[in-house]
Amino acid sequence: MILAANFKMNHTRASTRAYLQKLESIDKGDVALYLFPPFTALDNYDTAVATIGAQNAYCAQSGSYTGEIGLEQLEEFGIKTLILGHSERRHLFGESQELITKKFAFFKEQGFTIFYCVGETQEVRESGSTELIYSYIEQQLEGIDVAYEKLIVAYEPVWAIGTGKTATTEDIATMLEFLRTKTKRPLLYGGSVKPQNIAQILQVPECEGALIGTASWNVDTFMTMINIAKEL
């Protein structure tokens, strides 16, 4: 079971350190924990409780890429885990599939664990066509090595992210079954996961964990979810 906390643009280095200190007290059982702080909160944290990853990075060692960080900056903190293809990168910041594919190839070559996100928009979901939803997701997998041994795929319907709306367990099951036909790698769900729904979600067949935004920002809430997950 995997639980990943995506801090998005929340937390500082000081608050991430305090978060980790508190998290250290948990007995996480068999749950593998990942934490994705914002760039400025990356550091050499002396922790064994969670793997620290980056929310994004550019596909170069270093260079003239204003506003980006690359391999050199990640290596300073020994970071070998990355989220790619998050819907906020795709839809708010206009990342194309072509760019995401380039990033994937670069960081795969570097041996990174990659949390790769896919998910349909509300418009696509409301079309009512399963075929359209599947083909939308297939486009997001174009150019991605779905057999990469350090790949983790997160299904995150855009309309469920940060909205409080969660996909039904039936919808999640259908989408994860579809993704299972594409890859044998672990499949996660993300989109308004919280203590009230995490048990149901984690019991969906093929669901091997959750990528959690909002409900992970408070360490006590994240710990509540870890305690629920480890009992399943």
Ligand X SMILES: O=C[C@H](O)COP(=O)(O)O
Please give the angle made by the CA atoms of 221, 5 and 49, to the nearest 5 degrees: 85
- Binding-site sequence positions for substrate: 6-8, 162, 192
Question: How far, in Å, CA of 151 to CA of 155, rounded?
Answer: 13
Q: Name residue 43's beta-bridge partners.
A: none
Residue 209 sits in the site that holds ligand X (CB under 6 A): no
- Contact, 15 vs 215, CB < 8 A? no
CB of 218 to ligand X, least distance (A): 12
Question: By Cβ distance, which residue is nearest to ligand X?
Answer: 213
CB of 157 to ligand X, least distance (A): 10
Q: Within 174-203, which residues bind ligand X (CB under 6 A)? A: 190-193
Q: Name residue 33's beta-bridge partners.
A: 3
Question: How far, in Å, CA of 206 to CA of 214, rounded?
Answer: 23
Nearer to ligand X, 120 or 156 (CB): 156
Nearer to ligand X, 60 or 113 (CB): 113
Q: Which of 214, 221, 224, 227 binds ligand X (CB under 6 A)?
A: 214
| Residue 10, Cβ density class (10 Å: 0-12 exposed, 13-18 middle, ≥19 buried) | middle
The residues carrying an active-site annotation are: 86, 156
Please give the angle made by the CA atoms of 108, 109 and 113, to the nearest 5 degrees: 30
Q: Which of 71, 152, 187, 211 binds ligand X (CB under 6 A)?
A: 211
CB of 109 to ligand X, least distance (A): 24
Residue 71: both structure tokens together: 């391999």
Q: Within 151-170, which residues bind ligand X (CB under 6 A)? A: 156, 161-162
Binding site for ligand X (CB under 6 A): 6, 86, 156, 161-162, 190-193, 211-215
